[in-house]
Every structure is written in C-alpha cells, then in structure tokens.
C-alpha cells in the first residue's frame, strides 16, 4: 500500500469577531472621510464652441454642456486636518460633460477635439468674450 500523505495543516483564519471588528473600523474610517465633491456647489451650464467635423470638414457652432463647480464658503462638517488642507487648495472650475457631438451638416457623431475637460475659472477671466462682432 503506497504511503498516503496527510494534508498539511491549513493556516488558521482569525476568528470571525476579529474580522468583523476590523471591517467595521475600516467602514467608519472611510465613511468619516469627506468627499471632494462636498467642497463645491455644482450647477450645470452650457457654453458655445466652434468645431470642425472631421468627416465633412464643415465648421459649426455647438452648445457644450459643462458642470460649474464653485467652492463653498465653509468646509463641510466632519472634516479632518487633511480635508482642511485640501479645502484650502481647491479652486472654482468647469468640468466638460459632453465628450462628443453630432455634426449639424452630415449627422455623424465625432469626439470633441480638445483634451481639456477641466478649466479653472480664473483662466477664463482674462479671455475676450466670444460674442463680439468682427
């Protein structure tokens, strides 16, 4: 009869009460953290843009959807020291919601050819308005 080997003893897992208490502590730690979006007031906005369709090469004006994030006047409750530092550094900005457009001439969908999906509002202050007459 061949030698039958006994299986090696398995490593003992921690008792369930210890695992539950560790996961409960992790949940409390993560839930007590302030989400960065709580620093801002969000408001949808539409801004004009002029783009050229890569298929038919026609240039048209489009209305692009953006989300305006304005910094709140006070830090949210439950913030720790790390959150206070982050709150001091955040700035008002725009986040582009639309990623692609439908050409008004040929009807084909194309991607917005800009790599800027986030624009700080302080960068827009010095730019001329687009509604002036040439």
Token output for 113: 């050819």
Mean pLDDT, rounded, of the chain? 76
Instruction: Give me the residue spans of the domains in the chain.
Output: 36-124
Rg of the chain in Å (alpha carbons): 27
Q: What is the pLDDT of residues 37-70, one digit of tens each?
A: 788 889 999 999 999 999 999 999 999 999 999 9
Rounded CA-CA distance 113/108 in Å is 15
For residues 99-124, average pLDDT: 88
Of 5-14, 32-41, 69-78, give the range with the top mean pLDDT: 69-78
- The pTM of the full predicted model, rounded to 2 decimals, is 0.61
pLDDT at 36 over 70: yes
Residues in the chain: 134
Rounded CA-CA distance 104/131 in Å is 21
CB-based contacts of 86, cutoff 8 Å, min separation 6: 36, 39
């Amino acid at each position: 009869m061949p030698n039958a080997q006994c299986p090696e003893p398995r490593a003992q897992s921690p008792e369930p009460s210890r695992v539950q208490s560790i996961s409960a502590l992790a949940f409390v730690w993560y839930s007590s953290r302030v989400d960065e979006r709580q620093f801002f007031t969000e408001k949808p906005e539409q801004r004009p843009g002029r783009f050229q369709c890569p298929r038919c090469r026609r240039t048209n004006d489009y209305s692009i959807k953006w989300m305006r994030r304005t910094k709140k006047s006070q830090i949210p409750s439950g913030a720790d020291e790390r959150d206070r530092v982050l709150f001091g550094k955040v700035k008002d900005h725009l986040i582009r919601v639309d990623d692609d457009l439908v050409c008004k001439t040929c009807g084909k969908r194309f991607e917005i050819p800009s790599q800027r999906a986030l624009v700080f509002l302080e960068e827009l202050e010095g730019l001329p308005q687009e509604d002036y007459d040439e």
